[in-house]
Amino acid sequence: MSIANEHQLYVVMNGRVIGDVQRTGKRRMRLRYSDSRGQSFTPLSVSMPGPIGRYRESILDPWLSGLLPDRPETLRQWRRQFGISHENDAYSLLRHVGEDLAGAAQFVRPERLEAVLERSGRLIPLDGPRIAEMLRRAKADLPVSDIDNGQGKFSLAGAQAKIALHRTEGGWTDPSGSVPSTHILKPAIPGMTDQDLVEAVTLRTASYLELSVAKCSVEEFGDERAIVVERYDRAQQSDGRWIRVHQEDMCQALGMWPTRKYESQGGPGAVSLADLIRRESRQPSDDVRRLVRALIFNWLVCGTDAHARNYSLLLSGQTIRLAPLYDLNSHLAYSDGSGNSLSMSVGGMFHADRITVDNWVRFAPALHIEPDWLRNEIDRQRESLLDAMAAAAASTDIAIYDSPAVRRLLSNTADWMDRRFERGGR
Ligand SMILES: Nc1ncnc2c1ncn2[C@@H]1O[C@H](COP(=O)(O)OP(=O)(O)OP(=O)(O)O)[C@@H](O)[C@H]1O
Ligand SMILES: [Mg+2]
């Protein structure tokens, strides 16, 4: 490989080079767009809108870092496998794991460009035991495959172990090159028994409450089990081919480092997200309402980890929308809710059990929402929440495990709602 090659990564979106990233020094790099499609050009980020102009490391480096896992141990193992000595070197890691990411962009080494553009992707069939082994490796922070075949591998944000696979009618496969993963598989968080079930119940509860949510199921692979989440950033075309749909999380959209995902650590809160959506969305009032529905839901179920990276924007040409919800988790399977802090405050209040409907209503103008709509939305969700959660827990793929954690989730949620609303919660 030539020296020059190490200093360049092409940015590809669905078979087109839209630009490249040049590394110009140890800590210096710049993105240059080279796509001339005008209106149909999709930028990497609302923080790097293009279509002309260059973006330097101050904005690019945090954005690239947002494509990588949050788990320090995973990053350490990856650095070891790929022989990268510096910490916080997103560019060097993406040279090895940049071909299947959140969103549509692929970061492709020059010597791989032709193969990726020719759309010569591959699907390697996987059986249950092999997937179980991949899940075990992910849990142990090891690269899911121990060979670096230079064909990309996936990278996804987040603090939990996960793998990304492609599902065909014939079964599960490991994709590479132009063929994207279609699903994300996450085993339960160690130490939180049946957390995969709890996440599935929470996601489905939200969906029964008519929030827009990623679809999921719970499945077994050999002797491992995982929540299987359908990727909304992938779409199948009428000719059967899969395309990638672009997205970025809220820290990326706001030009912030991924380490600032919590409002309490200087990250964006609900007002910043609502402002961003108002500024960027094609349907600002719809999307702000969708955001506020999610914030209310996370309060009602004590979804304590709903930080800025658990909300994303979808970008397609000049059309920007709030993405469906993902990674919803009620903490009420593991606590009674007292003392729990939310990731995003309601007008500066983080303690879930101290927040009242009046606090929400007073917060409405800052979120660009009519107070009456907000009050009605809280009523709407709280009236149906327990039924929705019971229905979610009764789905076959969850009910068969007769999980004590899910039973606790149901009973703690009922108690928590009682305390919120019956005993002076207003
Ligand atoms: N259904 C989905 N479709 C497309 N992208 C998704 C989907 N679910 C998650 N993602 C992407 O993958 C990333 C990691 O997923 P997720 O948030 O579920 O992981 P996590 O490790 O549980 O996160 P956290 O650190 O917040 O606990 C998300 O930030 C998002 O970019
Ligand atoms: Mg997450």
- Give the CATH number of the domain where residue 287 resides: 1.10.1070.20
Same domain, yes or no, for 275 and 152?
Answer: no
- In ligand 1, the atom with minimum distance to the C-alpha of 161 is 21
Same domain, yes or no, for 112 and 252?
Answer: no
Residue 111: band (very low, low, confident or very high) from pLDDT cuts 50, 70, 90: very high
Instruction: Tell which of 187, 202, 217 closes a domain.
Output: 187
Same domain, yes or no, for 41 and 140?
Answer: yes
Residue 232: the pLDDT is 98
User: Which of 351, 256, 327, 313 is CA-nearest to residue 65?
Assistant: 256
In a domain, 208, yes or no: no
Mutate to test the pocket of ligand 1, among 327, 330, 342 (most ligand atoms within 8 A of CB): 327
135-154: average pLDDT: 75
Burial 214-241 (b: 16+ CB within 10 A, else e): bebbbbebeebbbbbbebbbbeeeeeee
Give 28's strand partners: 25
Same domain, yes or no, for 280 and 165?
Answer: no
Residue 121: band (very low, low, confident or very high) from pLDDT cuts 50, 70, 90: confident
Same domain, yes or no, for 175 and 270?
Answer: no
Same domain, yes or no, for 273 and 396?
Answer: yes
Q: What is the pLDDT of residues 52-66, one digit of tens each?
A: 889 999 999 999 999
Q: What is the pLDDT of residues 205-239, one digit of tens each?
A: 999 999 999 999 999 999 999 999 999 999 999 99
In a domain, 57, yes or no: yes
Share of the chain above pLDDT 90, in %: 87
In a domain, 210, yes or no: no
In a domain, 288, yes or no: yes
Same domain, yes or no, for 46 and 166?
Answer: yes
Give 122's strand partners: 176
**Does residue 40 surpass a pLDDT of 90?**
no
Q: What's the domain range around 312? A: 246-421
**Does residue 149 surpass a pLDDT of 90?**
no
In a domain, 323, yes or no: yes
- Least confident range from 94-98, 119-123, 270-274, 330-334: namely 119-123
**Does residue 425 surpass a pLDDT of 80?**
no
Q: 337 φ, ψ to 5°?
A: 95, -20
Q: How many Cβ atoms sit within 10 Å of the Cβ of residue 127?
A: 11
CA angle, 331 as apex, 194 and 136 as ends, to 5°? 35
Ligand of minimum distance to the alpha carbon of 229: 1
**Which three-class secondary structure state does DSSP give residue 28?**
strand
Residue 424: band (very low, low, confident or very high) from pLDDT cuts 50, 70, 90: very low
Share of the chain above pLDDT 70, in %: 96
**Which three-class secondary structure state does DSSP give residue 316?**
strand
**Does residue 122 surpass a pLDDT of 90?**
no
**Cβ pair 256, 268 in contact under 8 A:** yes
Residue 53: the pLDDT is 85
Ion ligand 2: residues, CB within 5 A, are 158, 310, 327
Same domain, yes or no, for 140 and 256?
Answer: no
262-285: average pLDDT: 97
Instruction: Tell which of 161, 187, 213 closes a domain.
Output: 187
Ligand of minimum distance to the alpha carbon of 66: 1
**Which three-class secondary structure state does DSSP give residue 200?**
helix
Same domain, yes or no, for 48 and 181?
Answer: yes
In a domain, 197, yes or no: no
The structural domain count of the chain equals 2
In a domain, 173, yes or no: yes
Mutate to test the pocket of ligand 1, among 310, 331, 342, 344 (most ligand atoms within 8 A of CB): 310
Q: What is the pLDDT of residues 181-205, one digit of tens each?
A: 999 999 999 999 999 999 999 999 9
**Cβ pair 334, 194 in contact under 8 A:** no
Assigned token pair, 247:
């997205």
Same domain, yes or no, for 338 and 265?
Answer: yes
In a domain, 139, yes or no: yes
Same domain, yes or no, for 161 and 268?
Answer: no
